[in-house]
Structures are given as structure tokens and as C-alpha cells.
Amino acid sequence: MKFSGFRVVKEALTGHKGWGALWRNPEPKPDYDIVIIGGGGHGLATAFYLAKTFGKARVAVLEKGWLGSGNIGRNTTIIRSNYLLPGNEPFYEFSMKLWENLEQETNFNSMVSQRGIINLFHTDGQRDAFRRRGNAMMLAGADARLLDQSELRKMAPFLNFDNARFPIKGGLMQSRAGTARHDGVVWGYARGADMRGVDIIQNCEVTGFRIENGAVKGVETSRGYIGAGKVGVAVAGNSSRVMAKAGMRLPMESHVLQAFVSEGLKPTIPGVITFGAGHFYVSQSDKGGLVFGGDIDGYNSYAQRGNLPVVEDVLEGGMALMPMIGRGRLLRSWGGVMDMSMDGSPIIDRTDIEGLYFNGGWCYGGFKAAPASGYAFAHLLATDRPHETASAYRFDRFARGHIIDEKGVGAQPNLH
């Protein structure tokens, strides 16, 4: 069924009788060409592009809970391609281009909204670093603008310019950045994959891999054994747990990141704004909630919940940056499990086990990457060659010394 404004009107006039399931609830088949573990943004995007771009239909996505129940179900929905390093920037710019056509590709309105992102700077040193980054973005074909204080005052007059501990001197802006409706991304990819024959199997937890002679043959699940020509793992915060079942250790720690939303307010904040002197970033959703976050809590955790000091830290930053939000209220907070890698950058690569492929290490930035991650992982699974924009995301970069460390803090995940 094709979605369109016409269809919405027609159904409205005929009592919504014609709508059907967005996707099926199939029973698992005995085997598939490709099994994707993880029904989140990355897994579903992988399945979608495998089916649509690479013509693979005997594909299954196994999800232990409900679709989108991981980090894509709870995040601050920011999309951007404002990275510095050559290993990253082309990949995220590729992702941005996929975002820009996502609705047309999936026939589902994921509400990609390019309202821009501004990273504020407060010192000359930060400005120089942002200039280097903005130039790196432009050299990779992305857009960037360096704003001075007077331009910023016009765009965001509510920021604390005049009584700040760390005065705002300007910002690096990417106009094409913005937000997307996170659940809509899940559902768009899921529906698109399902329509093209992919079996999406919810409530199906992988409990082990069947590996013979160094090659993966299939997966044991809570719903029985499922054979597979290839297995792709895209389970974000649970990467270490799942890969341990195949006997692998990863350069990764799982950490909790909290995210927050305020009660609905009339629109005030134009795009995404990040504070350069505190731990705070914010946007406003189409429903009116301020969606914001800050640093990870900083300790290993699989608990999907965080602690109060970070809540206070985030709001200290928020109040310092935009003291006009003080009389709004926090509605809800979440904690998600982040697959924090040792250099802050992801891995999309084969493993030493034939037929087993891995996608993870997205840290707290996986949402914006989902389209390119899915595309590049599908490319790898379908062709056994890395996608050109993801060729740096290899396992062996750590041993070889080719780390992609945007922040320059080294092998300590809670600093990335």
C-alpha cells in the first residue's frame, strides 16, 4: 500500500477501513541468505538496503524485543555531518544525503527536518578548531558556516550572551543538519524492508551462534535455530554481549547516556544548538518538547537508566546557556546503552569468523549514522567489500594505529 496525502484523505472519508499492517509478523523460516541481528535503526536500514539496493530478499531481521526498542527508540534525534577527520566526514556526509531522500525512498514520512545545527564556541582556540572542522566538512562536500556573535544574536537571541561564565563568541553552523522523527525512521525502514520480502521477526532473541570450521552456519534463538549464509550483527550497546557468544572480545565499553524531553512548549528554538563550554545540546520537536542531553554518565552500564548528578550537570549547562527555559519543566528522562568504542568511531567490518559481520561502536552518535551505516553494512554483506565511505571502520585500525579519534582523548571510552 502506497502512503500519500490522497490515501490519507480517502481513508479519512471512508472510516479508515483500508489501512493494513505496516509489516507482517512472520514465523521464522528454517534458513535465510542473510540474518541481521538487531531490529533497531542500523539493522532495519541494513535489511532495507539489502533488499532495495542489493536485491537480496531472503533476509531476516531478528529483534529480541519490539522493533526500535533500543537507542533509536530513545534519543535526541539529531542528524548532522559536521565531523573533522577524513575517516568520518565522508561517511556522515553520505548519511546526510541518504537522509535528504529518505521519505521518497521509504515512502514513509520520517520528518527529516533540516533546521540546522550550531556548535557554539567560547574561546579563540575553540574557534580555530571549529574553523579546521568546518573546512574539513566543506572539503568533503558538506556545508558549513562560521557565525560570529552578531549573527548568532539574530538567530538565537535567547542565548545568554551578556552574563555568561563562558561568553559565546560564535558558532559553527551546518544548515543541512537537523532532526528526524526517530520512531518514523524505524517504521519507514521496517515497512520498506517488509514490503520487499524481508522477514522482520520480533521477540526473537539470539542465544548463540552455530560456528563450524571457523564459519558461521546460523544462529540459535529463543524461537529455535535459524540457518544463515551470512550473519550481520547490529546490536549497539549489546555488541559485547552478542559477540561474546561467538567468542570475540571488542574494543568497546557499554555506557549509559541519558536524554531528556521537556513538556510541550510553543516553538522557540530554531534548530539544534550545542553548548561549547558545558555539556548540553538541545532542539525542539515538532510537538513542542525541548529534546536535550549532555554527557554520558561515565561508568560501564547496561542498566538503561542513569543517575541524578548527570541530570543536574546537563541542566546546569542548559540554564547557563538559555536561562529562559527555567520555568519549563522536565517531562521525562531515559537512559540508553551506548556502544562506546575505544576511539569514539564505529566499526563496520568482517570478523575472523567467516560469514560473521559486525556493525557497532556508534557511541552516542548512532542515530544520524543509521542510513549510511545500513547502506554500508548492506554493501559489505552483499559484496564482501567495504563501502568507500566506510573503509576506515576496520577492526584492525586499533592494532595498526589508525585510530579515528575526533576528540583526541585516546582509548578511554567515557571521554569520547
Partner 1 sequence: MSRLQGGHIDRNAPLNFSFNGQCYQGYQGDTLASALLANDVQLMGRSFKYHRPRGVFSAGSEEPNAMVELRSGARKEPNTRVTVTELFEGLEAQSQNHIGPLNRDLLAVNDLFAPFFAAGFYYKTFMWPRAFWEKLYEPVIRSAAGLGRLSMEADPDSYDRGFLHCDVLIIGGGAAGLAAALTAARAGAQVLLADEDFQFGGRLSSESHTLDGASASEWVGQTLAELDALPNVKLMTRTTVFGAYDHGVFGAVERVSDHLATPGEGVRQTLWRITAKRTVLAAGATERHIPFANNDRPGIMLAGAMRSYANRWAVSPTRSDADAVAIFANNDDGHLTALDLMAKGVNVLGVIDPREDAPRLGNYDLFAGGVVSGTKGRLGLKSIQITKNGQSQWHDCGALGVSGGWNPNIHLSSHHRGRPVWDESILAFVPGKDGPAGLIPAGAANGQGSTAAALAGGKAAAQEALGDLGLAIRDVVLPEAEDAEIAQAAFWHVPGKGRAWVDFQNDVTVKDIDLAHKENMRPVEHLKRWTTLGMATDQGKTANISALAVMAELTEKSIPETGTTMFRPPYTGVSLGVLGGGDTGSNFRPRRLTPTHHWAAGLGAEFVEVGPWMRAQYFPKDGESHWRETVDREVLAVRSGVGLCDVTTLGKVDVQGADAGEFLNRLYANMIATLPVGKVRYGLMLREDGHAYDDGTCARLAEDHYVVTTTTANAGPVYRNMEFAHQCLWPELDVQMISTTDAWAQVAVAGPNSRALLERIVDDLDLSNEAFPFMGCAELTICGGLRARLFRISFSGELAYELAVPARYGHALMQRLMDLGQDLGVTPYGTETLGVLRIEKGHAAGAELNGQTTPTMLGMDRMVSKKKDSIGAIMSRREGLSENTRRLIGLKPVDPDAPVVAGSHLFAKGAAQDTHSDQGWITSACFSPHLGCHIGLGYLENGDTRLGEIITAANPLEGQEMQLEVVSAHFVDPEGGRLRD
Partner 2 sequence: MLIPHPLLGLRDAQEFTYLGDASLMDRPDPTLDNAETAFCDYVFMRDNPAGVHRELWFHEQGDRSWLVVTRNTITHEILGAELAKDLKLNRKDAQ
Residue ranges in 304-363 that form contacts with partner 2 under rule CB under 8 A:
307, 309, 342
Min CB(168)–partner 2 separation in Å: 27
Q: Is 282 helix (H, G, I), strand (E, B) or coil?
A: strand
Min CB(371)–partner 1 separation in Å: 15
Strand 215-221 to strand 206-212: parallel, antiparallel, or no bridges (unpaired)? antiparallel
Decide: 362 and 347 in contact? Cβ < 8 Å.
no
Q: Is 351 helix (H, G, I), strand (E, B) or coil?
A: coil
Q: What are the beta bridge partners of residue 362?
A: none
Choices 29-37, 51-59, 226-234, 249-257; region in contact with partner 2 by CB under 8 A? 249-257
**Dihedral of CA 209/388/390/186: which sign?**
negative
Min CB(71)–partner 1 separation in Å: 14
Min CB(244)–partner 1 separation in Å: 22
The 8-class DSSP code of residue 35 comes to: E
Asked if 175 touches partner 1 (CB under 8 A), the answer is no
300 binds, among partner 1, partner 2, none (CB under 5 to 8 A by kind): partner 2
Asked if 249 touches partner 2 (CB under 8 A), the answer is yes
Asked if 388 touches partner 1 (CB under 8 A), the answer is no
CB environment 350-373: b (16+ within 10 A), e (fewer): bbebebbbbbbbbbbbbbbbbbbb
383 binds, among partner 1, partner 2, none (CB under 5 to 8 A by kind): none
Choices 232-240, 242-250, 324-332, 369-377; region in contact with partner 1 by CB under 8 A? 324-332
Binding residue for partner 2, selected from 252, 353, 378, 390, defined by CB under 8 A: 252
Residues of this chain, 374-403, that bind partner 2 according to CB under 8 A: 398-399
> Could you tell me the three cell numbers for 282?
538541545
Decide: 143 and 174 in contact? Cβ < 8 Å.
yes
> x/- site string to partner 1, residues 22 to 41, per CB under 8 A?
xxxx----------------
Q: Is 216 helix (H, G, I), strand (E, B) or coil?
A: strand
In one-letter notation, the amino acid at residue 403 is I
Min CB(148)–partner 1 separation in Å: 10
